[in-house]
Amino acid sequence: MTVFKMIDDVDLADRFRTRLTRGDKFLIANLNASREAEDKYTVVNCGGYGRVRAFRDYKLYLETVAFPDCPPRPNFRGYPPSAIVRSQVFQLSACNWRCWYCFVDDDRLSAAPRTSTYLSAHELLDLYMAEADCPDIIDLSGGQPDLVPEWTLAVVEECGRRGLLKQIHFWVDDNLSNDFLFRYLSRDQLSRLAGVPTLSRMGCFKGFDEESFTFTTLAPAERFQGQFELAGKIIDAGFRFYGYVTFTTPTTTQLEMRMRQFVDRLQAVHERLPLVTTPLAIKRFSAMIPRLDDDRARSLNHQILAFLIWHEELKRRFPSEYPRLRPDQISLSR
Ligand code: SF4
């Protein structure tokens, strides 16, 4: 078994934050000549600073992988349901966790100036609008975009200045690793963001218990519980919130009990949080291949087993809603 060095994710978050902004500019990853660009779903645009993601078959959902003959249950996140959904993704160039399965190249997770450029929201929107047929969803991703939550605010405000606020949907990703959203935005800025009707936030739970969390992120185990606390704060702040979860685990012992406890923890945040949480299928992305060892490769098989237990647990707890309803048909209003 390979022993990996744990990271100090709090220190990393602070250090990356200082390197991610220059005045009104934010460090954006350039995807040209990256391993990520070799993945077939990656369609690079905006001079390398963006990519278009098309959602058609939802094979990134464990449910679709486990039940290939059933119609997928997409999460449209407030976007009008349609057969193909396209999003314009921009990636902030750092993350304070080190998930081995991450599809992003290490240097695009490390605020490295060689593979990133400082761009203002104005410059980013210029690049976006110069594209023919640009998608009407802007996905602010990373890396961990919440290392500088000011980025989301700047992009939304720039869209407002251009009169685009009603026609663009904003998808904001978050690994639920830090509370910078609440630390660095004022109460007024927070409520302005939460009040944008087309904005949704996606928090990704990394693993379903402390063991799978640390195995995945190399961050201290206590940060696992922190994800739930942060999700609760985001929901309480009035954001439209959805969850992803990844089920890569090094061991399968007592899987039923561990999954039950995970669903309990979600429900302690909000009774219906499991219904808006989608288990993701981890695939062999190009950037991940050099990071694989035997345990990690084996965990790719464990995720299906874990999903089947999750599926039975949700059917038992929500017999009239799961799996009949899509996550975006569920309300978390208190
Ligand atoms: S939290 Fe997300 S962006 Fe960060 S390393 Fe993990 S998968 Fe990659």
- Ligand 1 in reach of 175 Cβ (< 6 A): yes
Shortest-distance atom of ligand 1 to CA 104: 8
Instruction: Give the mean model confidence (pLDDT) for residues 126-138.
Output: 97
* Spatial separation of the C-alpha atoms in residues 29 and 116, rounded to whole Å: 4
DSSP state of 156: H
Answer whether 143 contacts ligand 1 (Cβ < 6 A). yes
Q: State how beta strands 50-55 and 85-91 pair.
A: antiparallel
Residue 139 is encoded by which pair of tokens?
């996905």
Q: What is the DSSP string of 223-256?
A: HHHHHHHHHHHHHHTT-EEEEEEE---S--TTHH
pLDDT at 83: 97
Q: What is the pLDDT of residues 291-317, one digit of tens each?
A: 999 999 999 999 999 999 999 999 999
Distance between terminal CA atoms of the chain? Answer: 45
CA dist., res. 172 & res. 325, Å (int)? 23
With cut-offs at 50, 70 and 90, classify the pLDDT of residue 122: very high
pLDDT, averaged across the chain: 97
Q: Distance between CA 101 and CA 217 in Å, rounded?
A: 9
Mean pLDDT of 164-175: 97
Q: Is the CB of 99 under 6 A from ligand 1?
A: yes
* CA 173 to ligand 1: nearest atom: 2
CB within 8 Å of 305: residues ≥ 6 apart: 252, 255
Determine the pLDDT at residue 334: 72
**Residue located nearest, by CA, to atom 6 of ligand 1:** 99
Atom number of ligand 1 nearest to Cα 175? 1
Q: Kindly report the length of the chain.
A: 334
User: What is the predicted pLDDT for the residue at 41?
Assistant: 87
Q: Can you tell me which atom of ligand 1 is nearest the CA of 142?
A: 3
Q: Where does the chain show beta strands of DSSP type E?
A: 21-22, 25-29, 43-45, 50-55, 85-91, 116-120, 137-141, 169-174, 199-206, 240-246, 277-280
User: Which tens digits make up the pLDDT trace of 72-103?
Assistant: 999 999 999 999 999 999 999 999 999 999 99
| CB-ligand 1 contact for 224 (6 Å cutoff) | no
In the chain, the percentage of residues whose pLDDT exceeds 70 is 100
Q: Probe ligand 1: pick from 89, 104, 110, max atoms within 8 Å of CB?
A: 104
Q: Going by DSSP bridges, is the β-strand pair 137-141/116-120 parallel, antiparallel, or unpaired?
A: unpaired
| Tens of pLDDT, residues 6-16 | 999 999 999 99
Question: Does any ligand 1 atom lie closer than 6 A to the CB of residue 48?
Answer: no
Mean pLDDT over 30-42 rounds to: 95
Per-residue pLDDT, averaged over 107-130, amounts to 98
Average pLDDT over every residue of 277-286: 97
CA distance 44 to 31: 7
Q: What would the mean pLDDT of 124-149 be, rounded to a whole number?
A: 97
Whether cis (ω within 30° of 0) applies to the bond prior to 323 is: yes
Please give the average per-residue pLDDT across 29-54, as a whole number.
97
Nearest CA to ligand 1 atom 3: 143
Q: Which of the four pLDDT bands, split at 50, 70 and 90, describes residue 271?
A: very high
